[in-house]
Chain A
């Protein structure tokens, strides 16, 4: 029996105490937040920070960003990825989520590790889901790293994006900040509209 998909509806303005309660100081345990690593996680520590802009160029204060990524060996912590050659890092789940409503400049910040190449062909990347009030369904995008030029040039997904829009998917290293920090702003509309994928 074929059943029709349940339609998507907006996450609304009041998702915080359900999805990211601890970030917003509500008395309910968070399953995930922007801190995706601990002392035992293998791989190079990175910080990804950015903002979400609407079509008027204004900051979106009530978006929620979700990250799904492979570990330092390029393996996903999921039963469908059973490649033995890519080691599992059992304590690294690879999922983070953060709302944009708890800092004065409405930023999201993820402390994580740089993922390995998933299958040799794909450049290191983070899979990103964008949800907010004013979106009836979520949008998918990807984050690639500015210092992976050769891998990016060979990446099949990035190569399928018109050249003049690829830049919207590249997170740039900010060398003025301590640690390894990449900046990645998401533009919902406008000249710099982020590329969103039909996955």
Chain B
């Protein structure tokens, strides 16, 4: 799509027939291009004041009578724009299933145990260098009903606003070497060449000895067009 504001080499289409529920839910008519005005170049501002003491530690923020089950991990990285400039003081919202592959959400009927000490929701904010970090339990894989014997690779959901409304991003972070990648229509809905940007990398320097393994995941947000308001 030449001249589009969105980068269709990086972003998935609205309709990807292998992911069946896109067929009736994705818009079918061409998007209408508009010049970026203040409405697009501003966006919700949430900084450190929005994050509570335990929000960035999902191994602790929902304990009832003990520790959550599963493998503790530390996830950290930088939030940057396409020129690798850090995006400071920006909110990262996180949610995921537990180590057994079960979401707390009441609509999740997967027959795997809930963990009374794990909610799976958290949030953190990037520092002045765009760095963020949270602690959690490595999420399990789980079945879904898209096609016979469909399973989602392990993933963590992330939501970011970035500097403006055009940089809004909701994505999923995956783990290296997952054998389910090749069978997952959500992962493969993204154009080839961009998919690996969603896979975190194991990083020994992020691990905490005797406590948790570490994964690095950088998030690259779209910036405003170079020449706004001049179309």
Interface residues in chain A, defined as those with a beta carbon under 8 Å from any beta carbon in chain B:
1-19, 21, 26-29, 31-32, 54-56, 58, 60, 62, 66, 68, 70, 76-81, 93-95, 101, 118-119, 122, 125, 127, 129, 131-140, 142, 156-157, 160-161, 165, 188-189, 193-199
Contact = CB atoms under 8 A, between A and B. Distances in A.
Nearest to A57: B24
Contacts, number: 246
Interface stretch (B11-19, B65-73, B127-135, B202-210): B11-19
A8 B189 CA distance: 10
A15 B103 CA distance: 10
Contact of A7 (B91, B157, B195): B195
A54 B24 contact: yes
A149 B220 CA distance: 40
B163 to A, nearest CB: 8
A8 B157 CA distance: 10
Given A5-B82, A118-B39, A134 B157 contact: no
A68 B44 contact: yes
Contact of B186 (A9, A16, A19, A95): A9
A27 B166 CA distance: 30
B25 A195 contact: no
Given A54-B25, A198-B4, A127 B83 contact: no
Interface in B109-152: 119-121, 123
A189 B37 contact: no
Q: Which 5 A-B pairs have the closest CB atoms?
A: A18-B95, A134-B21, A78-B42, A134-B25, A198-B31
A196 to B, nearest CB: 5
A21 B184 CA distance: 28
A70 to B, nearest CB: 8
Contact of B27 (A14, A28, A78, A189): A189
A117 to B, nearest CB: 11
Interface range on chain B (Cβ under 8 Å from partner): 35 or more
B180 interface: no
15 contacts: A3-B220, A5-B197, A6-B171, A7-B198, A14-B95, A14-B108, A17-B120, A26-B121, A55-B28, A80-B41, A134-B25, A135-B26, A136-B14, A138-B168, A199-B5
Given A14-B95, A60-B25, A198-B32, A135 B84 contact: no
A39 B110 CA distance: 44
B83 A1 contact: yes
Contacts of A189: 24-28
Given A127-B165, A129-B168, A198-B31, 14 more contacts: A5-B197, A6-B218, A7-B11, A7-B171, A7-B198, A8-B169, A9-B170, A14-B108, A18-B159, A19-B93, A56-B24, A122-B39, A133-B25, A196-B32
Contact of A16 (B105, B165, B221): B105
Contacts of A197: 31-34
A6 B197 contact: yes
Contacts of A8: 11-12, 169-171
